[in-house]
Amino acid sequence: MGRLLLIDVVTSVAVLGLWYVVFSHYNRKKGATALRWVQTACAGKGRILESRWMGTSRLQARLHFPSRWFENARVTLKFRPRALPIHWLMSCWHKQEETLTFEADLDGSPSFHLEVVRHRWCAHNRGISSRKRDDAEWDFYYEPGPVILTTRTHWKQDPSAELNALMSARRQDFLEVHFHPESPQFSATVHLESLADPNTAAEFVSALREIAAGASTHRQ
């Protein structure tokens, strides 16, 4: 009995070890591909200086851009934690997305905190066959206008810079956009796979500049 238990333990350890090696390598291979997407996005506008892994599911790279663009720029690529089965199953359960977060300091420190979080809205039918489908058989969910929650006692009536940043984030499919007076002063998060498309990747840095320009407008 003890011998069988020992065999089971050794087998389990071997399987877990093989799982760890295989899926760690998979994440690293995917990370190398994602860095090529980032380099494509930065082509002619910036370049990757160095990259390093932080565990088996998080990759960080430092970027360099021309002066007066971004300072202390970096991207953090977050993959599913495939190397450990329990963590991988939990990420699947919570439907964790693989994301890329860009962080940088701006030419001047923003004087405000702004967090833009995007929510998707959709429509679906009620199981009616396509032959019987019409507008009355669909449930539609519309996107409301911007809603701003603030702690300021005196809020200006025309927050154009903040709303311009919000609209830019919507057009470029950003998940989150943050402005803070402290470093990193600007951050934006996207689905990692969105950069797999060369056209989307080529517009990535331009979109970041467009959003960050809202902070400069706010300071003027």
Separation of alpha carbons 21 and 41, rounded Å: 30
Q: C-alpha distances in angstroms, 63 versus 41, 86, 105, 122, 173?
A: 12, 33, 12, 36, 22
DSSP state of 194: G
Check residue 206 and give its pLDDT: 81
Check residue 162 and give its pLDDT: 54
Check residue 41 and give its pLDDT: 86
Name the pTM for this structure.
0.76
Work out how many domains the chain is built from and give that number. Answer: 1
37: domain range? 2-219
Tokens of 86: 């329990």
| pLDDT tens track for 145-173 | 556 666 666 665 555 555 565 565 555 67
Check residue 152 and give its pLDDT: 65
Separation of alpha carbons 44 and 137, rounded Å: 50
Check residue 156 and give its pLDDT: 58
Check residue 163 and give its pLDDT: 59
Separation of alpha carbons 148 and 114, rounded Å: 9
Check residue 1 and give its pLDDT: 66
Residues of the chain with pLDDT under 70: 1-2, 67, 110-112, 118-172, 214-220
Residues 6+ apart with CB under 8 A from 158: none
Separation of alpha carbons 187 and 101, rounded Å: 7
